[in-house]
Copies of this chain bind each other. A is one copy, B any other.
Amino acid sequence: MLKAIFFDIDDTLYDSTSLTTMARKNSIRAMIDAGLPVSDEEELSKLLEKVIQKFGSNYSRHYDELLKELGVAWNPKIIAAGVVAYEHTKAGYLKPFPRIVPILLKLKEKYKLGVISNGLAVKQWEKLIGLGIHHLFDVVATSEELKYEKPQKEIFEFAVKKLNLKPEECAVVGDKLDSDILGGNRAGMHTIRILKGKHRNEKPASKAERPDFEIADISEIFEVLEKMK
């Protein structure tokens, strides 16, 4: 019998793809407004993407590196313009997907709820708090704290054990086949893929990435839970 449901955060609980896309776009526009001597948004967008790939998404000086790539001298006005635009846009987009909150509340009546997330612990908690859902979860497992990351099965096993459950009593809901679904399958949990965000059109690369269920929207989870019985 199912006793717990674990959620991924980005593109599962909120629209991370739109947030990132729009925040980067607005940061580029703000930097142009603040005096960046290049105004091709497309070109800047690609260069910023390259910088983020190179230094990782948790690096705190992407805009400093963007200026270096452009051969532009360090400029605190331009950098600050990018930071402020990013933060303002983030505040506007960091909202739960429609129906997430009432559905989590309804699920909470019958199941334990958890989060399994790759990333820095404080940063991931900031998202849950910004989304206003931080009080809803019985366990939040982050890769920074556990030194294991999805799809490694240890991070899933930690979350399951934390609730004194067996893997077959737990389900994972996430958008990424090679992370949420692969890891959940490896750990012996039920896996539910949610078709949201930039990975929604991807196909499983192997049998191990095949989810038990696919849903287009969180509201379909109740049908899936019925089928599991």
Contact = CB atoms under 8 A, between A and B. Distances in A.
Interface of A: 30, 34, 76-77, 79-81, 83-84, 87-88, 91, 121-126, 128-130, 134, 140, 142, 145
Copies in the complex: 2
Given A76-B142, A84-B129, A129-B81, A34 B134 contact: yes
Contacts of A88: 91
Contacts of A79: 122, 125
Contact of A125 (B81, B87, B129, B134): B81
A76 B140 CA distance: 10
Contacts of A130: 84
14 contacts: A30-B129, A34-B134, A76-B121, A76-B124, A76-B142, A77-B125, A79-B122, A79-B125, A80-B125, A80-B128, A80-B134, A81-B125, A83-B126, A88-B91
Nearest to A88: B91
Shortest Cβ-Cβ A-B pairs, 9 listed: A80-B125, A76-B121, A80-B126, A84-B129, A76-B122, A76-B125, A80-B122, A77-B125, A79-B122
Given A83-B126, A91-B91, A126-B84, A77 B34 contact: no
A83 B124 CA distance: 12
Nearest to A81: B129
Nearest to A144: B76
A87 B87 CA distance: 9
